Chain A
Amino acid sequence: MSEARDQILGSIRRSLKRGPLEETQRAGLEQRLAAPRRNLVPARAAALPHAAQIDLFLKMAEEVQTTVMRVARVGDVPAAVADYLSQRNLPSRLVMTPDPQLDDIPWGDRPMLEIRRGRAEDRDQVGVTACFAGIAETGTLMLVSGPESPTRNNFLPETHIVVVRGKQVVASYEEGWTRLREKAMPRTVNFITGPSRTGDIEQRLELGAHGPRRLHIVLIDDEAAS
């Protein structure tokens, strides 16, 4: 359909009353893309010291029905996960992404947790993943896809538990992009702000429309170590 392509581009140029862009104009636009500049970033999170950004991240997450738990050490994560599940009568069988970020957690300390590492399937009710960053501004999780972090694990299980390190918390989406640009762009970047919801029936907020009904953050306060 190159004919359609040429016609559409031709129609755009005709409407704008010009031909194809001049070389210098193109170069300017290409430069704008090659070195992306940040626009206004709200002061809400950006103006805070990092410890306060972590507090804000958790506070904003709780506002949108995410539950949060702070632990002091990596070693505390298995107990935090096990307690969370037992308090809510949720199954202790869980699917965990093969993400190396989760490898240093001593899951063996909680033998009651039945862990399978891999891709989530429809039958999996509880999932554990790591994340790429936490955005303080709106309590948003930033997750990226890859061989060790399949996207479906963020959506299929009814309960999604995310392990976040304190040093992963950044102020803004822009800081998330800056960190991601140090790597290659993955197939999928998920910004997740709270559990799945819908207001499609009489504008009444209901959780768990298609994605997780529960979203739980376990945050490791690793500031001292980093």
Chain B
Amino acid sequence: MQPTSHAFKENAREALGNANLQKALTLMRSGFPERRAAAIARLPEFEALREEAKAIKNHVLEHLDFYLETFEQQVTARGGQVHWCRTPQEARETVLAICRRLDAKTVTKGKTMIAEEIALNDYLEENGVTPVETDLGEYIIQIRKEYPSHVIAPAIHLVKEQVAASFRATHTELDPNRRLEDAPTLVAEARAVLRQKFLAADVGITGANFCIAETGSTIIVTNEGNGDLTQTLTKAHIVLASLEKLVPTLEDVSTILRVLARSATGQEFSTYTTVSTGPRRPEDTDGPGEFHVVFLDNGRSAMLGTEFQDMLRCIRCGACMNHCPVYATVGGHAYGWVYPGPMGAVLTPTLVGVAEAGHLPNASTFCGRCESVCPMKIPLPKMMRHWREREFEKQLSPAAYRYGLKLWAFFASHPPLYQAATALMTRLLGWFGGPRGRFRSLPLAQGWTQGRDMPAPEGRSFMSLWAERRKNGDAA
């Protein structure tokens, strides 16, 4: 899809005025964080597991070439095939070629962020293959021609009335007078409609939460069971995975799984954790006849060894966005591409360029909640700062901002000048503020005063107060 991250400010303004979105976000703000906190409180080892999970992923990244090669050997030894793709285009072509060879008319899809990243659905449709999303949230946004607004809850921006309207518009073969007003009836209708799609599909595409080097297995984690029907009932199972999904052993993945569900939905364990190894065995009575793993690089190998390497530990749990005050205010679509929230603010500039996505690392209050809840301890605010530095170096930020920052830097590196200037400004502003003590508007600060008054300083700067206290000897 075409990113609209450059329009973050406009997107955000629109989001603030969208009543349905604001209602949906209110539901999210309390739900996910409370459930996560409760799940973690029940597991005393959670912090220790986080450290272990982080160490496992760091170990993998340092030896990623070895683990990828070993994984490929294991997949091949069990009758599967690994495909290596440098770009989204190569990945799309690889998937289409498999579908064409199997003469596939429809493919069912489990939830995969890589498919969103490479805009696979549009490509398959253009080439005569019908993709059907089967995760309920993904299905809803597919029929609405939208993209996900959250990595684990793609339709979290919608309210049930919008879902009902979309179902009525799409399922035209059903009785138009049917009741469809609550979640149970909507879920039941989706179940019935999609069950037939599962049974009719030729190829099943899923993502991979993890790829296990030891056994050549891929793992998906779901709650609905859609990924399982997708990969079990079709002629071929195609797994889309990015390079960093590798994990050495089944023991290692058990450790990471313990932090994943708790961080994501606050569940002790997701309903379905499924380990797939190769195609169906000769005596099996079901399972896919072919097993393909399509690896996508798309700039990830170049992230290794840089200040963004830690981002490759991400397991896409969504905890960072669930706890982000910016995400909770504007939702996922404002970020303008498939990865929203703090993890998107770091990853999107890598994948689509900082010129397009430079606003995203700026859309942060640096409150640090994202890093504090990240199960893989990814220093998200630090990496957003790196992007801000790069944006500054590339002169992508507006001129007024850059010159302002340079002016500030000049004063800040000359402390006596800085103190004199701030003392003067403080007094002046305090005086102009008058008896109300606040400003309705201020030159160069309309961004602030448009939404609220700016309090006027009360006459003295912190530094002069501090100096006075020290002189009086009462600064302990």
Contacts and interface: CB of A to CB of B under 8 A. Distances in A.
A8 B243 contact: yes
Interface stretch (B81-89, B119-127, B377-385, B447-455): B81-89
Interface string B275-316: 111111101111100000001010001111110000000000
B44 to A, nearest CB: 8
Interface of A: 1-2, 4-5, 7-9, 11-13, 15-17, 20-21, 25-26, 29-30, 32-33, 36-40, 42-44, 60, 63-64, 118-119, 122, 138-140, 145-147, 150-152, 154-156, 172-174, 177, 185-204, 206, 208-212
A2 B66 CA distance: 16
Nearest to B72: A5
Given A16-B305, A36-B249, A201-B183, A29 B217 contact: no
Nearest to B155: A200
Interface string B247-280: 0111110110110000001011111111111111
B48 interface: yes
B27 A202 contact: yes
B31 interface: yes
B70 A33 contact: yes
Contacts of B70: 29-30, 33
A8 B187 CA distance: 42
B269 A21 contact: no
B225 A209 contact: yes
A202 B278 CA distance: 37
Interface stretch (B171-179, B228-236, B327-335): B228-236
B96 to A, nearest CB: 14
A146 B284 contact: yes
A22 B365 CA distance: 45
Given A190-B274, A193-B271, A17 B305 contact: yes
A155 B66 contact: no
**Among A138, A203, A204, which residue has the most Cβ atoms of chain B within 10 A?**
A203
A37 B55 CA distance: 14
Given A33-B213, A187-B277, A188-B274, A4 B156 contact: no
B429 interface: no
Given A8-B86, A202-B24, A40 B49 contact: yes
B272 A190 contact: yes
A203 B31 contact: yes
A177 B295 contact: no
Contacts of B321: none
B134 interface: yes
A42 B86 contact: no
Contacts of B140: 200
Contacts of B250: 36, 177
A29 B297 contact: no
Contacts of B460: none
Q: How large is the interface on B (under 10, 10 to 19, 20 to 34, 35 or more residues)?
A: 35 or more
B215 to A, nearest CB: 5
B43 interface: yes
Contacts of A209: 136, 187, 190-191, 223-226
A201 B31 CA distance: 13
Contacts of B283: 146-147
Contacts of A154: 228
Interface stretch (B57-65, B344-352, B408-416, B419-427): B57-65
A188 B287 contact: yes
Contact of A211 (B154, B228, B233): B228
A156 B285 CA distance: 15
B160 interface: yes
Contact of A39 (B52, B67, B214): B52
B187 A42 contact: no
A11 B301 contact: yes
Contacts of B213: 33
Contacts of B265: 199
B285 A119 contact: yes
Contact of B28 (A20, A26, A190, A203): A203
Contacts of A206: 183-184, 187
B153 interface: yes
Contact of B285 (A64, A147, A200): A147
Nearest to A147: B283
Interface string B10-53: 00000000000000100110011000000000011100110010
B160 A187 contact: no
B68 interface: yes
A204 B223 CA distance: 13
B9 to A, nearest CB: 28
Given A188-B274, A208-B187, 13 more contacts: A2-B84, A15-B303, A29-B63, A39-B255, A42-B44, A44-B43, A151-B228, A185-B78, A187-B284, A188-B287, A189-B275, A209-B225, A211-B224
Contacts of A64: 267-268, 271
A210 B69 contact: no
B90 interface: yes
Contact of B225 (A13, A30, A211): A211
B84 A5 contact: yes
Closest 3 CB pairs of A and B: A211-B225, A209-B224, A15-B304
Contacts of B214: 33, 36
B160 A40 contact: no
